[in-house]
Amino acid sequence: MGSQEVLGQAARLASSGLLLQVLFRLITFALNAFILRFLSKEIVGIVNVRLTLLYSTTIFLAREAFRRACLSGSTQRDWGQTINLLWLTVPLGVFWSLFLGWVWLRLLEVPDPNVVPHYGTGVVLFGLSAVVELLGEPFWVLAQAHMFVKLKVIAESLSVILKSVLTAFLVLWVPHWGLYIFSLAQVFYTTVLVLCYVTYFKKLLGFPKSTKQQTLPVSRMTDLLPSILRSRAFVNWTEAKLTWSFFKQSFLKQILTEGERYVMTFLNVLNFGDQGVYDIVNNLGSLVARLIFQPIEESFYVFFAKVLEREKDATLQKQEDVAVAATVLESLLKLALLTGLTITVFGFAYSQLALDIYGGAMLSSGSGPVLLRTYSLYVLLLAINGVTECFTFAAMSKEQVDSRYNLTMLALSSSFLVLSYLLTRWCGSVGFILANCFNMGIRITQSLWFIHRYYRESPHRPLAGLQLSPVLLGAFALSGGITGVSEAFLCCEQGWLARLAHVAVGAFCLGATLGTAFLTETKLIHFLRTQLGASRLADKMR
């Protein structure tokens, strides 16, 4: 498969994923806004911080390394060995679930049962939900490796929507159930997610004449179960060693990804109510990151991993592939920078209004607006880091992952925990976001240095994607000033007419800024048009 064909598939995966996720996330967004009006801050804090951290830590430690290792390189591999390796995530998940569940029940502060009932049951069911989700890992990796465009997005989005609907129904009808509501909804979510993948492959493998089925390395459902391979090792030891390398790295990355939750959970720097407000703002602030940046990062990680060879420098690889990868990386950096700047500039003036609409006075008063404004700056760094690490992880050799990157991640993890604790003691929950900004900046710097050295001996300069024209920068600055003045005079205590006027001012400034970007960033516009056109053509041919 040529690099241009892989690029077309990655673009189709990202664009289709983006559109579907926008639709499903908006529905979920509305359901969550409804649910928030019936909950206490303490319940939100326990569910979204304490229990979700248990689930995400179990999932991350059990599968992240396996995913990265098994998606590296070509799809032409011994998939029997790869599937056997992926099934090891289940016993690993059982171990982490039991161990972390014991920590959550025995070593951490237990909330007051009169305020947050059924905490123990919540810990057990959230741990169980992690194990259930790992049962679908071989299906997920096979679908991702072969770029099944809509399966992942539909499965995840449908699961999230059904979970939100079930939660809303139970909150309305049996609010006294407490954590039972969210625990049952979590198990329901992972069960639906796994069933979507199993059902899809069962139907696909039941039609031998299907085009997709003919491209798969399996022909029946039993091929997706662990098996003893004749005259071959149970697993591919090269993949297993790469998995171990990524596992050591993933443990450190998890601390950076969920660091503030670990500090809140283990050091008790915030009460459960403040944790709830912080987490709601954090989820709202990262909404665009999940909608836009995550599909792009996941799709183009697969692209870079297929096009580039890990053990070779840019000068030793096929130059056509190197050039395509450089062009794609430059365009993705430009897109991330523009998207992040837009969120940062307009986020400052519309944070309080967004929180008031989303959660009412519980969010729009107090520390909520300051948190969201700070988070809008963090989103800019998050966007750039997603693209740079997407390339870096795909291009790094095993030795680089083992040595330099892991040492840096260890230093970042340690510094983040210390910095977040100190900043939180100094300026409250906003300290978590400031600590995240600091560490994200360090990670970006490291990735940029790797990219610079990778292309140093070649004629390609993909880091030019981080440069904007002075005219466009001026448009961003002017928009920030105008919307800031608009917020001071029109929002948010002046009534709905004033709020609508404030929104109209922002819409005008946003349109002018995007128009300026369209006229000045012609290379990016050409890239987007080319890939979207290729995506539509590929869809018509399917």
* pLDDT tens by residue, 272-323: 888 888 888 887 777 766 677 777 777 778 788 788 877 677 777 788 888 8
Question: How far apart (Å, rounded) are the C-alpha atoms in residues 341 and 334?
Answer: 11
* pLDDT tens by residue, 331-342: 999 999 999 999
One DSSP character per residue, 32-97 reads HHHHHTTS-HHHHHIIIIIIHHHHHHHHHHHHHHHHHHHTSS-S-S-HHHHHHHHHTHHHHHHHHH
Structure tokens at 481: 């000033």
* pLDDT tens by residue, 459-495: 888 898 898 999 999 999 999 999 999 988 887 777 7
Q: Which residue has the tokens 């139907």?
A: 203
Task: Count the domains in the chain.
Answer: 1
Q: Which residue has the tokens 């205590």?
A: 493
Residue 313, pLDDT score: 73
* pLDDT tens by residue, 13-26: 555 555 555 666 66
Asked whether residue 212 is domain-assigned, the answer is: yes
Distances in Å between the Cα of 495 and the Cα atoms of 98, 350, 489, 499 are 52, 15, 11, 6
Question: How far apart (Å, rounded) are the C-alpha atoms in residues 192 and 163?
Answer: 9
Maximum distance among all alpha carbons in the chain?
76
Structure tokens at 146: 């072969």
Helix (H) or strand (E) holding 437: helix 430-454
One DSSP character per residue, 195-232 reads HHHHHHHHHHHT-TT-HHHHHSS-SSGGGGS--PPTTS
- Residue 275 CA, chain-centre distance (Å), reads 21
Asked whether residue 160 is domain-assigned, the answer is: yes
528 pLDDT more than 50:
yes
* pLDDT tens by residue, 51-104: 999 999 999 999 988 888 887 765 566 788 888 899 999 999 999 999 999 999
Residue 401, pLDDT score: 65
Q: Band of the pLDDT at 537, cuts 50, 70, 90?
A: very low
- Residue 61 CA, chain-centre distance (Å), reads 16
Asked whether residue 190 is domain-assigned, the answer is: yes
Three-state DSSP class for residue 259: helix
Burial label for 231, CB within 10 Å (0-12, 13-18, 19+), is exposed
Asked whether residue 469 is domain-assigned, the answer is: no
Nearest residue to 391 via CA among 476, 318, 465? 465
Asked whether residue 211 is domain-assigned, the answer is: yes
Nearest residue to 216 via CA among 83, 325, 342, 323? 83
Question: How far apart (Å, rounded) are the C-alpha atoms in residues 59 and 161?
Answer: 20
Q: Band of the pLDDT at 540, cuts 50, 70, 90?
A: very low
One DSSP character per residue, 483-522 reads HHHHHHHHSSSS-HHHHHHHHHHHHHHHHHHHHHHHHH-H
Nearest residue to 531 via CA among 143, 20, 14? 14
Three-state DSSP class for residue 20: helix
Asked whether residue 208 is domain-assigned, the answer is: yes
Asked whether residue 178 is domain-assigned, the answer is: yes
Asked whether residue 112 is domain-assigned, the answer is: yes
Average pLDDT on 436-443 reads: 88
Q: Band of the pLDDT at 538, cuts 50, 70, 90?
A: very low
Find the range with the poorest average confidence among 204-218, 241-255, 454-468: 204-218
Residues 6+ apart with CB under 8 A from 407: none
Three-state DSSP class for residue 407: helix
380 pLDDT more than 50:
yes
Cis ω for the linkage preceding 492 (within 30 of 0): yes
Residues 6+ apart with CB under 8 A from 240: 69, 85
Structure tokens at 464: 């030019």
Average pLDDT on 505-518 reads: 95
Residue 448, pLDDT score: 93
Average pLDDT on 362-375 reads: 82
Average pLDDT on 417-430 reads: 86
Question: How far apart (Å, rounded) are the C-alpha atoms in residues 95 and 216?
Answer: 32
Question: How far apart (Å, rounded) are the C-alpha atoms in residues 123 and 50?
Answer: 9
Question: How far apart (Å, rounded) are the C-alpha atoms in residues 276 and 261?
Answer: 11
Find the range with the poorest average confidence among 15-29, 58-72, 225-239, 436-450: 15-29
Average pLDDT on 492-502 reads: 81
Question: How far apart (Å, rounded) are the C-alpha atoms in residues 149 and 13?
Answer: 5
Residue 209, pLDDT score: 65
Average pLDDT on 36-40 reads: 76
Q: Is 210 left (phi over 0), alpha (psi -120 to 50) or beta?
A: beta
Question: How far apart (Å, rounded) are the C-alpha atoms in residues 143 and 541?
Answer: 20
For 200, the domain range is 38-223+231-237
Q: Which residue has the tokens 């992040």?
A: 340
- Residue 4 CA, chain-centre distance (Å), reads 26
